[in-house]
Structure 1
């Protein structure tokens, strides 16, 4: 079959490779001038630093098949994300761990003592936390919440933390040891030559043609047997039901002679600091040496029609609108919606690859059985 894949990011590349290896003729297009989507990396001409152009991406997974898959196409080197945060004029370690607790409260607590101490700090009257703030107050108490979570969350999401689901905070564990590795996963690393080189390698197959600077036109669909869409779900339908809400990011670049902050990511928890964090890109490639440095101040705001959508909001209004778009998508033959934008979910890179592998295999299985492809292999709701 002739397959059109809209978007040359991880979803389009992995699905395209899966189908091309099965003998299908795949055409990948992207409106941007590079492959890789928001994972795009490029070497900065002035400093030689490998830049994460749309913000940092750290690969981490417990999925051994996905880890083996990416290592087929790139040389991954060890990297652990060790985030720091500046709050009230001091620097602390994240996620909140035993060092953070002892430093913040000026104690020398052992793990069991720290557990008991935080339980005394916590609001135990909150039996079933219903929002982000209640979740924080129940499990870390008001002092840690105010210092590390409240201001940062207000800046990141642009709303009162009481309007956010408790599940957001459940992704930020408190550790009662001195482990400051941000992720728990077995496999963690960075591709030596960046993500764009890896994705180009995935696309490098005789059954795949890739065209950049090529926006999708609905008239294209008639030239193919099936379309995989990794752009915004509402965008495929011309936003006819309204726009789903996203947060976007603005990056303020500045260069520095030397080492600006000594780590890859420095969060800023104080509400009066307008940016959420500063990233120093040479620290994402610790095997390289660069005299000069490139940093980004990162600002979060509501996405407008011409902005790059980063984080789906998925609050009550968006979920109701999403249900309407899902019904519309399921009634639209000839297209499968994939990836972070196509399913309106926040997805880490490893999950994106896992779902792309699943989607490609599902398509092949349905074709072998004479069944129509699914609109969603992984449901947005």
Structure 2
């Protein structure tokens, strides 16, 4: 008999793993508690406007991984897309990431790249090894740009002072001394023409895969399968017996408009006296389409409760301590591999999620062939 595999979660991790294992001859069942595939990158047409809406917030595909780029293009047509974010600060609009235009506009100057580089360097603090977000920002852009573009946004996003957050959060954001306002620097950038849900549905379209939506998997039934891949919350697999890992969640406030409401896909609002962090206008995520009306969402971050959708793992000292306990508990579980953003309690971009799933599939199939244990995690959480 063919080995029977269970994929818990029909997001990118579960879909890619299911496809790779099905192609290798396994019978794979994919279950998801939601009524749709694609997880948090689910997209759907708005009935009133025809706009393709990113239901759980904007997702832009970007990668330098040629293998991942080739993989997703097997299942969807990708259209060129450049993420050009704007931000409203004290009643004025600037471009992000912070670039030469942002610097010159903010300071009322007309500096060349070398002049701007020296100007910003003169404002930064000499902090050889920044440990916190705030220290990294002061060493990165200095106090004025930090206060305007980063401080308020970060406090709203994470619900705490930037002095309590790790420097790594800011290290992945670029600072440019030219007029390039492309938010990402990867060679491959785009959007699936028909949305992410269509992409994931195509990945799952294989005779060896059975998909069951609106189905909750009971971890107590794991021993009924040859192997289980769990992409749900790591602590959830153990019924939160040690306590809950901390996440931030998002509330979305929908509103509609005629025509073009804000002129861009994403407008950040870092001012502390504005409750939301950003507004997304979803028709701009598909610039190859034309729509007379618009669908927009204001985003309000807050602490994640038991019944909320977890978005961003907090990963501060308290959470890391609890995470270590759950990792130790996971090592005692048999027949289960924890995968993806929730299963490994890490923030992952879509391309990294796919890469880890592809690599895990290779490792798992090789282990089955060799008769050796499968890895416990797609990537070590700590």
TM-score (structure 2 length as normaliser): 0.99
Indicate conservation of the 8 Å contact 2:357/2:378, yes or no.
Answer: no
2:38 aligned with 1:36, yes or no?
Answer: yes
Residue 108 of structure 2 is aligned to residue 96 of structure 1: no
1:265 paired with 2:289, answer no
Instruction: Say whether the 8 Å CA contact 1:137–1:145 is kept in structure 2.
Output: yes
Whether 2:163 is the aligned partner of 1:162: answer yes
Gaps of 5+ in 1: none
Alignment partner of 1:296 is 2:293: no
Deviation, 1:127, is: 2.5
User: Quick check: 1:84–1:92 contact (8 Å CA) kept in 2?
Assistant: yes
1:312–1:344 contact (8 Å) kept in structure 2: yes
* 1:129 match: secondary structure: coil
Q: Equivalents in 1 of 2:168, 2:198: separation in Å?
A: 34
Correspondence for 2:223: 222
Tell me the residue number matched to 2:67: 65
> Structure 1 residue 317: deviation in Å?
0.3
| Residue 54 (structure 1) aligned to one of 30, 53, 56 | 56
Partner of 2:243: 242
**SS of structure 2 residue aligned to 1:344:** coil
Tell me if structure 1 keeps the 8 A contact 2:61–2:189.
yes
The answer for the alignment partner of 1:78 in structure 2 is: 80
**Cα distance in 2 between the residues matched to 1:130 and 1:105:** 28
Q: Which whole-Å deviations, capped at 9, do the CAs of 1:73-99 have from their partners, x for residues lacking one?
A: 000000010000000110000000000
Partner of residue 316, structure 1: 317
User: Runs ≥4 in structure 1, deviation > 2 angstroms?
Assistant: none
TM-score (structure 1 length as normaliser): 0.99
Q: 1:91-114 CA deviation, whole Å, 9 max, x = no partner?
A: 000000000000000000001000
2:368 alignment counterpart = 367
Q: What residue number does 1:127 align with?
A: 128
Aligned residues between the structures: 380
SS in 1 for 2:253: strand
Check the 8 A contact 1:84/1:263 in 2, yes or no: yes
Alignment RMSD (CA, Å): 0.7
Give how far 1:52 is off: 0.1
Distance 1:139 1:290 in 2: 40
Q: What's the CA shift for 1:357?
A: 0.4
What is the CA–CA distance in structure 1 between the aligned matches of 2:131 and 2:188, rounded to whole Å? 33
Worse-matched range after superposition: 369-378 or 358-367 = 369-378
Distance 1:9 1:167 in 2: 26
Q: Contact 1:362/1:377 (CA < 8 Å) preserved in 2? A: no
Is the CA contact 1:4–1:27 (under 8 Å) kept in the aligned structure 2? yes
SS at match of 1:73: coil
Please report how far the alpha carbon of residue 10 of structure 1 lies from its aligned counterpart in structure 2 after TM superposition: 0.3
> 1:262 is paired with a residue of what secondary structure?
coil
